[in-house]
Chain A
Amino acid sequence: MGFLNVVVIFLLACGLFFFFAGAVGILRFPDFYSRLHPAGKLDTMGLFTSMIAMALWVAHEWHLGDILTALKILLIVAFVFITSPTATHAIVDAGVRAGLLPWTKDSSEDKS
């Protein structure tokens, strides 16, 4: 029980770290494309670790109902793993089609 607590807390802390880093990245990166990078990757990873922690926490007593709930949580993880990168891909695609050029060091020096 104590060991499981440690694992769950560690995973939740990892999830919070990934979400926080993702938020910082969205705010701090210079342009549209590089901002989508933390938005797509770190949100998926943060959701993965925190959801695994929740599934472990729910299913720690090995009741059938709890295991079913944990399986549903794992299903959420699976679908987010499929859909979230696709959504990021679609947004990047829309940006390319709209003609937005990626940021380079030269383009930032031109503006300032």
Chain B
Amino acid sequence: MRFLALITILMVGGLLFYGTPDFPAWGDPESPASLHVSPYYIEHAVEDTAVPNIVTAVLADYRGYDTMFETAVIFSAGIACLFLLRIYRRKSTTTRLYRHNLTGITLRIAKGGKLPEGSAEFERIDSLWVPYDMIIKVTSRLVVPFVQLFALYVIAHGHHSPGGGFQGGVIFGAAIILYAISNDLRRAFRRLNEKAALLASAAGVLLYAGTGLMCLLLGGNFLDYSKLADLLYTDAIMARSHGILIVEIGVGLAVMAVMVSLYYNLSSAGRHDEGL
């Protein structure tokens, strides 16, 4: 069986190598892509979509299908990681650890004991809990808002400069991961819990696909944003620009949520307690 697989791989690889010389040379100005595809984008992107950054216009408008399914791939990667790693059945622990925040005393409460749940003075911790480092905590508290602001800037400024949903979403996710590292997982769950992260990742893809469907309902092709002009109170060209922004926000939401959910699952090996 393994031998057959090797033969197949060698044959397919040989075919690929056989086909490679027929490609146009690297950067060949006479190649069909440079003669028929790129010039249209370079000449018409601004007048079609009012977006100065041609890369963004191609990514989210002319080739919107491609980006939509890329977002779907990221979403399914997050879901696959969840299915592979997440452990819902808890080990039946006989004791739970609670930390008194003011004095730093840890209480070990046996099964059946009264739990200080919902008390502001006690905090549930795990056996791998590490004391907070004040320098790291204060610095991350200082930096996280700026990182988040920069992420929103990258998403919103994708029309004019390098950036867009993927990059901004990753930066936003990194901000939340930084918060989770510098504090602990239970505190990060209080800001963005698992359910919210998964819902946000699905909502991002839905926002993208829903925008496309809306164009379909308004009488255009799928993802033809110019048909949104009446909804957005603009002309057809600006509607394409705004449509790009809407789908970029969807991409950013999905990427951010998937990053955070991947971190939650990988860092604690699916148990969602203090793993690192």
Q: How many whole Å from A51's CB to the nearest CB in chain B?
A: 17
Query: Which chain A positions have C-beta within 8 A of B130?
Result: 97
Interface of A is mostly: helix
Partner of B135 from A79, A89, A97 at Cβ < 8 Å: A89
| Chain B: CB-nearest residue to A75 | B146
Chain A residues bordering chain B, tally (CB within 8 A): 8
* Cβ-closest chain A residue relative to B130: A97
B133 touches A83 (CB 8 A): no
Tally of contacts, chain A with chain B, CB under 8 A: 18
Interface size range on B against A: under 10
**A93-B133, A97-B130 given; A83·B139 CB < 8 A:** yes
Q: How far is the CA of A93 from the CA of B130 in the complex (A)?
A: 12
Judging by beta carbons under 8 Å apart, are A79 and B139 in contact?
Answer: no
Q: B57 → chain A, closest Cβ, in Å?
A: 23
A82 near B133 with CB under 8 A, answer: no
A100 interface residue per 8 A CB criterion: no
CB distance from B38 to the nearest CB of A (A): 29
Q: In the complex, what's the smallest C-beta–C-beta distance from A83 to chain B, in angstroms? A: 6
Which of A79, A86, A97 contacts B136 (CB under 8 A)?
A86
Contacts of B146 in A (CB 8 A): 79
Per the bound structure, the CA–CA distance linking A39 and B135 in Å amounts to 19
Chain B residues in 8 Å Cβ range of A79: 143, 146
The docked-state distance in angstroms from the alpha carbon of A63 to that of B133 is 44
CA distance A83 to B139 in the complex (A): 7
Contacts of A90 in B (CB 8 A): 133, 136
Chain A residues at the B interface, C-beta cutoff of 8 Å: 79, 82-83, 86, 89-90, 93, 97
A-B residue pairs, 9 tightest by C-beta: A86-B139, A90-B136, A89-B135, A93-B133, A82-B139, A86-B136, A86-B135, A83-B143, A82-B142
